[in-house]
Structure 1
Amino acid sequence: MSNAIRIHNFPLSGHCHRVELFAGLAGINHELVFVDLAAGEHKKEPFLSLNPAGKVPVIEDGDVVVADSNAILVYLARKYAPDWLSGDAVEEAEIQRFLSLAANEIANGPAAARLVTVFGAELDTDKAKAIADYVFGILEGHLAGRDWLVGQKPTVADVAIYTYTAHAPEGNVSLEPYPNIRSFLKRVEGLPGFEAMPATKAGLAA
């Protein structure tokens, strides 16, 4: 797999999963490089030479190194799968809006709630659940009458939003009140090349 991109990842990280998921959906040749977070591998060399921030995921594409899951999605789409972006300025802006939502409200809401139950993170659970309810309310309304978040086909926006939304129940955030979101998740899961992130027994998924 000498021509494969290398994805430095941790299997239970939603940020890592969105990169792995996109590579599968877009048919991008890749190999996974396990990073042992429990052993602190991400906080020392040689990993820090790839990403001084000490966070996964990171990809190596030949001599190119890209960190941050959303930046990686845009890079991979631009280089290997442009159909997952958009040539339309308005749609491009909409995609960016959902990437920002993934990096902010999704990360601080359902993802943070899951960090507490799965990894024992010392975070404000009530605040995380409140943010989750807020952002899921936005997504539920946006998805009314839509199959995908932006335009008429799946884009990197859908990939960025998918994982932590699908695994929200692991943080005791129910998806039952959001039928449009649940339908959206099933559409993503039905795409060729879809690969699920391993489930944990935390939260409502127990």
Structure 2
Amino acid sequence: MPDFLLYDHPLSGNCHKIRLLCAMIGKPLELLPVAVLEGETRTEEFAKLNPVQQIPVLKDGDFVVQDSQAILLYLAMKYAPEWIDASPEGMAAIAEWLSYGAKEVSNGPQLARLHFLDPHKSIDIDRAQAIGRKVLALLERVLGGREWLCLGRPTIADLAVFPYVGLARQGKLPLDECPNVLAWIDRIRALPGYHPMPGLPEAL
């Protein structure tokens, strides 16, 4: 088995965060597809790898880390410190957005998209879309006064929030009514190493 491996699904925005960061820092990454919709994460074998039974999971040598935000932080600290910050203040600003990506973005744009991708899921689509609209409105306000989410430069905060916001149309959310968010997406698309996943735009 490769020493640097991501347990992956091509339609997962959370996995795409990891694929993006590795591409942007020039870190070769082997992908192992996991049949999530067919229940592969719910097997006993996968539970031994990750008791939470979710992807992404990163294997770096003998070390295994799960959760997309944790993986972003691990990769940046070990291989790409320019994507985080050396100060407590800077890391606090990044952590705020990591938390926002794990909570509001997950409960809004991510769940709204999943409702239409996997309709048998018991998702309250009205609630997910309401949260999703609040996410877009907040980002539209924040990005009206800055180019990046924090620190005036690209960080893992941007990658933590980006995929499911960029995929918001798949959740029937009004992304096209948010010019500041669209401009931020274009700035991410212009970064070296950017590549899309199904539903996200091509590189600029």
Task: Please give the range of the TM-score, normalised by the shorter of the 2 chains.
Answer: over 0.9
Gaps of 5+ in 2: none
Equivalent in the alignment of 2:72:
73
**Partner AA of 2:92 in structure 1:** A
- What SS does the aligned partner of 1:109 have? helix
Q: 1:79-130 CA distances to partner (integer Å, 9 max, x unpaired)?
A: 0000000112222111100000000110000111001011112211111111
Within 2, Cα distance between the matches of 1:56 and 1:106? 17
Question: 2:103 matched to 1:104?
Answer: yes
Q: TM-score, normalised by structure 1?
A: 0.92
Which region of structure 1 is more displaced relative to structure 2, 155-164 or 10-19? 10-19
In 1: Cα distance, 2:46 partner to 2:38 partner: 12
Shift of 1:195: 1.5
Residue in 1 that maps onto 2:36: 37
- Tell whether 2:26 aligns with 1:19: no
Letter in 2 for 1:108: N
Question: How much does 1:132 deviate?
Answer: 0.9
Question: 1:204: which partner in 2?
Answer: none
CA distance in 1 between partners of 2:152 and 2:134 (Å):
25
Per-residue deviation, 1:13: 0.9
Q: Give the whole-Å Cα distance in 2 for the aligned partners of 1:45 and 1:30.
A: 25
Which residue identity lines up with residue 93 of structure 2 in the other structure?
E
Q: 4+ residue stretches of structure 1 with deviation over 3 A?
A: none
CA RMSD of aligned residues (A): 1.4
What is the identity, as a one-letter code, of the residue corresponding to 1:28? K
Give 3-state SS (helix, strand or coil) of 1:6's partner: strand
Q: Secondary structure at the match of 1:59?
A: strand
- Letter of the 1:112 partner, please give it: L
Q: Distance between the aligned counterparts of 2:34 and 2:44, measured in 1?
A: 12
Letter in 2 for 1:149: L
Residues in 2 aligned to 1:175 and 1:126: alpha-carbon distance in whole angstroms: 17
2:129–2:173 CA contact under 8 A, matched in 1: yes
Q: Any gaps of 5 or more consecutive residues in structure 1?
A: 201-206
Q: Which amino acid aligns with 1:135?
A: V
Who is 2:197 aligned against? 197
Question: What's the CA shift for 1:159?
Answer: 0.3
CA distance in 1, matches of 2:92, 2:195: 27
Task: State the Cα distance separating 1:2 from its structure 2 match.
Answer: 4.7
Counterpart AA for 2:58: I
Identity %: 41
**Aligned pairs, how many?**
199
String of CA shifts for 1:41-87, please: whole Å, max 9, x gaps: 11114321110111000000000000000000000000000000011
What is the aligned partner in structure 2 of residue 94 from structure 1? 93
| SS across alignment from 1:60 | strand
CA distance in 1, matches of 2:93, 2:136: 17
Match of 1:182 in 2: 182
Structure 2 counterpart of 1:28: 27
In structure 2, the partner of 1:48 is 47
